[in-house]
Amino acid sequence: MILELIANLYKPSDRHQSAIKLAEYLNGRDFIIFIKDPVIDVYLPGPGFTQTLYGGSTWDSFLNSAAKTQYSGKLAYPDKYNLMDAIGYPGPDESIIVLLGTSVLHPELDQLNKIMPLIVALLKQEQASIAVKSLAVTAEKETKKAEKLAYQLDIMGQNLRKTLMQQQKDKAEINDLMKKKDEFMNIASHELKTPVTSMKAYLQMISQKLLPSLKDKQLSSFIEKSNKQIDKLAVLINDLLDVSKIQAGEMTYQFRKFNFSALVKDAVDEALNSTSEHKITVHCTLPPDFEVTGDRIRLEQVLNNILSNAIKYSPSSDEIIVNVGLVNNYVEVSITDFGIGISGEQLPQVFDRFFKVQNEDKRFFGLGLGLFISSEIIKAHHGEIGVDSCLGEGSKFWFKIPAK
Ligand code: ADP
């Protein structure tokens, strides 16, 4: 009889019922073979036996003892409220046989023990195939996830490519527009230069010949004003032409030795000509005959620009200070005003092409080119140019060029 009951354990689908019948034959309630899970290294009921067990820690200590030797104790079964006698003993190949509902081993259990190696091998094989199946299921799930991710990545890649292509197109369009603007500026400034030069010449002639004898005060002031406006226009056109040259890499320089203090004096005199409201104080520590090598006209252009800015952007302050000296083999010039100043966030851009500080005040005339041209000229002299400024307090523009 017991052999038939044991034989029934081979069928995994009926194993639970067969185990209970076997247990009843052995005067117990249930019969479970535990095998060690190779992955987590824990004893688990073999496939097909009762799987849900209550009171985990009591089961753990029971199984730990029964793994070594025959052991009797009480276990929660079939639920956590019921404690039941149980007996367990080690089986072959790291297995444990547990009989619930009795603490006495039935003599016929010997029959079972003889074929236990076969049963345990079968259980292990089943356990392995379950593990393989669950691995296959997990692998399939992960593959699906990976496929989904790959698809999302592909869409992201496509979008990124589209954005990049659009950006490249935009960049090309901007470059094209900038090129057209440069071309237009170049043509416009060349076309304007000739008429403005002749207008200037005519006005100068009128000033020289007519002004001294002119009685009409209003007419004289018109001629003077026109003269000043023409000068401004000429500066603008020259700036535009210079920028075109810089962009085309065609700016040329005539490097010669010249007296630096004389250059500063000329620039200051010219600046004073354009204002009656400002006074310019010069502190020059250079020896009177000190010479540097550079393009005098271009360096004067830098000084003119910084000085005219100092005047232009100081509508309510009259003081401008120019410092000139020799520091570490560099001739250093600084021009300080106490005018409107520049905010910290706009400061880094003042030397950019076409940059004008954004403010409400529209009375400041200019294209935002002077400082860009100045910085290019100083670069060509292997020097440095910079500015320190505080909004509402004034600015100090400085540059330095090698003394030799
Ligand atoms: P612009 O012809 O417009 O004066 P610049 O290139 O000479 O062009 O100067 C660029 C901008 O820097 C100006 O538009 C102005 O906003 C600011 N800036 C230049 N110099 C001064 C200064 N001394 N004080 C305040 N702002 C200045």
| The pLDDT value given to residue 359 | 67
370: pLDDT confidence band, cut at 50, 70 and 90?
very high
Tens of pLDDT, residues 275-333? 999 999 999 999 989 999 999 999 999 999 999 999 999 999 999 999 999 999 999 99
Measured in angstroms, how far is the CA atom of residue 351 from the centroid of ligand 1?
9
Matching CATH topology for 125-248 and 256-402? no
226 Cα–ligand 1 center, Å: 24
* Among protein residues, the one whose CA lies closest to atom 2 of ligand 1: 366
Residues with CB under 6 A from ligand 1: 305, 309-310, 313, 337, 339-342, 350, 355-357, 366-372, 395
Q: How confident is the model at residue 223 (pLDDT cuts 50, 70, 90)?
A: confident
pLDDT digits (tens, 9 = 90+) for 18-61: 999 999 999 999 999 999 887 788 899 999 999 989 988 899 99
The residue whose CA has the least distance to atom 13 of ligand 1 is: 356
Ligand 1 mutation target, pool 371, 375, 393, 399, most atoms within 8 A of CB: 371
- Of the pLDDT bands very low, low, confident and very high (cuts 50, 70, 90), residue 225 is confident
Q: Which CA distances in Å does 317 have to 44, 116, 321, 340?
A: 93, 108, 12, 9
* CATH topology (fold) of 256-402: Heat Shock Protein 90 (3.30.565)
pLDDT digits (tens, 9 = 90+) for 99-119: 999 999 998 888 888 888 888
Distance 398 CA to ligand 1 centre (A): 14
| CATH fold of 125-248 | Topoisomerase I; Chain A, domain 4 (1.10.132)
Q: How confident is the model at residue 149 (pLDDT cuts 50, 70, 90)?
A: confident
Does the pLDDT at position 356 exceed 90? Answer: no
How high is the pLDDT of residue 260?
96
Query: What is the pLDDT of the chain when averaged over all its residues?
Result: 90
- pLDDT surpasses 90 at 137: no
| CA 319 to ligand 1 centroid distance, Å | 17
Task: Break the chain into its structural domains and give their ranges.
Answer: 2-107, 125-248, 256-402
Distance 337 CA to ligand 1 centre (A): 12
